[in-house]
Chains A and B, each alone.
Chain A
Amino acid sequence: MSEVRHKSEPSLRVLIVDQNVTRASILEEGLREAGYTQVTVLREMHNLLRRIVDIDPEVIVIDLENPNRDVLEQMFQVSRVVRRPIAMFVDRSDTDMIEAAVDAGVGSYVVDGLKKERVKSVLDTAISRFKAFNKLREELDLARQALDERKIVERAKGILMKQRGMSEEAAYALLRKAAMNENRRLSEVAQSVVTAASLFK
């Protein structure tokens, strides 16, 4: 079933407008996996309209952090600039799709008159890949935060070991006890130790 659909899709020209290289690659890969072979990625925003006219996409996918989105909006209006009118989303009644897209941080514009069934899988792919990217970014932020926290605990331990002549285990136990008593996070207590030490230098 899905194979049949894939065979009918490759003629669709898809343009990805995204300044985030990683995210654009994730989406491009997703679209290729789904059988879309004519995918172009535009990262350079210079002279955007001109380049879109040259590429002549049937579907444009753009990240919503991109201020150039308003440049695309004008294409609803100016048939003089683009050969075919472009509209946002396929079906004007499709608010669920819009909500899902805006939640994921992605917008898409399609050539007017393109059938909903033909575009839906592009939009679905865009939404799921953007979500995946967001999750990746959150995990990365969390990992970075965890690393920062671990570093600060290490520094606090070092200070205690040096200034109070403690073993590493004792220094760690002291930090943990303070955190429990004060109902604070270990990294917060460690941060206070580091700050205090820098004041007493």
Chain B
Amino acid sequence: MNDVTTTVVGFIPLLDCAPLAVAAEKGFASAEGLDLRLVRETSWANIRDRVVVGHFDAAHMLAPMAIASTLGVGHLKVPMAVPLSMGLGGNAITLSLRVWDAMSAEGVAVGDDPKTLGEALRRVVQARERAQKSQFTFAMVYPFSAHNYELRYWLAACGIDPDRDVRLVVIPPPLLVDAMREGQIDGFCVGEPWNSVAVSVGAGAIAVPTTAIWGLSPEKVLGCRLEWAQRHPDRLQALVRALYRSAQWCEDPANHQELARLLAEPRFVGAPADILLYGLSNRLRLVREGELCHLPDFYVPASHAANFPWVSHALWFYSQMVRWNQVAFDVSHVAQVRATYRPDLYRLAVAAADVPTIDTKIEGFFDGQRFDPDDLFAHLHSFDKK
């Protein structure tokens, strides 16, 4: 039987906190015997610290953040456990109208593929360099985030060195749109609803949904201290099961209106419901005057085994931490990274037909690159050659 104490879970106000909100509000948590209390946080650093000191039992976490904690990169070394992925996709790269107009002059149009768009951006960046104008500034939300790696991957694959040719900064999601409007930044990579908010106020255009960079790419995870997972196996199992069921509820189009209204409340995301609905229904307005554009699998809360914590995701994130010099490669890291993701705990909690029986898969990217987790060393080596 589960113990009766309250389970406290921290989250950041973003579209993909949806399964947590639904677990707490639609009875999925209580159906598992959980007394779930959600705490809204203002920064990813707070999420990490409050998990570390035990204020939170678990949290809505950036996947690479859990890995960084396990490895002790950038902060204390506290082994984390990731028993569930909070869904796939939901991010996009939005560019300011100034950048977008310059790219349009290079002949690109809304909805073009990432390669075409990235190469146009490279030409714009090069022209600025020749004209000795200041570099573009792009923002993401945290150094250890899928946003950082997806943005860098896209830029690098299109011939733009993210460390040399542009300036990358961190800005919290709710402040991004204003920063773009004020001309402080020229683009950003963030989760919904902030891309759609930028479009709706006429600050920018959505250029690339990051699922177009890395197909079915993961985003947030449920993370907790390994020690907590070991001490409360029943509670963790109940939480994973509740979130799995909530995620299915979130994906059902019949619930999207209700979900958008729930998330619109200030205690959750606090953004307009009609804008939250764009991401939920995979229909986004890429430019302000544009039609709603159907982007299949833009945000996937449940299907395609979206909640399964693929170990190949963790290893790809680690490869990017090495690639961008956040950590020096160490062979002992590999086992620690693998051990952070816990498909075994997921399988214990979720007995469904669609649960994968393997822990890793080959990940595919827009530039034709494939990441084979069994070939991590070759992959890391390939960065040196570029």
A99 nearest in chain B by CB position: B53
B78 nearest in chain A by CB position: A95
Q: Counting chain B CB atoms within 10 Å of each CB, which of A67, A99, A107 scores highest?
A: A67
A105 nearest in chain B by CB position: B46
Which A residues touch B169, using CB under 8 A? Answer: 49, 71, 74, 81
Among B44, B50, B55, B75, which residue has its beta carbon within 8 angstroms of that of A70?
B44
Whether B76 pairs with A70 at a CB distance below 8 angstroms is no
A92 vs B76: C-alpha distance when bound (angstroms): 6
Whether B77 pairs with A73 at a CB distance below 8 angstroms is no
Task: Count how many chain B residues have C-beta atoms less than 8 Å from C-beta atoms of the other chain.
Answer: 28
Chain B 43-55, CB-CB to A under 8 Å as 1, else 0, gives 1111001101101
A69 interface residue (CB < 8 Å to B): yes
Whether A66 pairs with B42 at a CB distance below 8 angstroms is yes
Which A residues touch B50, using CB under 8 A? Answer: 102
Whether B45 pairs with A69 at a CB distance below 8 angstroms is yes
Which A residues touch B142, using CB under 8 A? Answer: 70, 73-74
A77 interface residue (CB < 8 Å to B): yes
Whether B77 pairs with A92 at a CB distance below 8 angstroms is yes
Among B55, B172, B326, which residue has its beta carbon within 8 angstroms of that of A77?
B326
Whether A98 pairs with B184 at a CB distance below 8 angstroms is no
Whether A67 pairs with B74 at a CB distance below 8 angstroms is no
Among A66, A76, A95, which residue has its beta carbon within 8 angstroms of that of B143?
A76
User: A47-B184, A92-B72 are contacts. A67–B172 as well, Cβ < 8 Å?
Assistant: yes
Which B residues touch A65, using CB under 8 A? Answer: 42
Which B residues touch A164, using CB under 8 A? Answer: none
Task: Count how many chain A residues have C-beta atoms less than 8 Å from C-beta atoms of the other chain.
Answer: 27
A-B contact count (CB 8 A): 75
Whether B75 pairs with A88 at a CB distance below 8 angstroms is yes
Among B43, B74, B184, which residue has its beta carbon within 8 angstroms of that of A76?
B74
Which A residues touch B293, using CB under 8 A? Answer: none
Interface positions of B from 93 to 138, Cβ below 8 Å from A: none
Q: How far is the CB of A82 from chain B (nearest CB, A)?
A: 12
B175 interface residue (CB < 8 Å to A): yes
Interface positions of A from 137 to 151, Cβ below 8 Å from B: none
Whether B184 pairs with A70 at a CB distance below 8 angstroms is no
A49 vs B171: C-alpha distance when bound (angstroms): 10
Chain A 98-126, CB-CB to B under 8 Å as 1, else 0, gives 11001100010000000000000000000
Whether A70 pairs with B170 at a CB distance below 8 angstroms is yes
Whether A73 pairs with B74 at a CB distance below 8 angstroms is yes
User: A70-B142, A71-B170, A74-B169 are contacts. A64–B46 as well, Cβ < 8 Å?
Assistant: yes
Whether A74 pairs with B143 at a CB distance below 8 angstroms is yes
B140 nearest in chain A by CB position: A74
A80 interface residue (CB < 8 Å to B): yes
Interface positions of B from 31 to 89, Cβ below 8 Å from A: 42-46, 49-50, 52-53, 55, 72, 74-77
User: A76-B143, A95-B76 are contacts. A70–B326 as well, Cβ < 8 Å?
Assistant: no
A191 interface residue (CB < 8 Å to B): no
| Seed contacts A74-B143, A102-B50; 10 additional CB < 8 Å A-B pairs | A67-B43, A67-B172, A70-B43, A70-B142, A73-B143, A74-B170, A76-B75, A99-B53, A102-B49, A103-B53
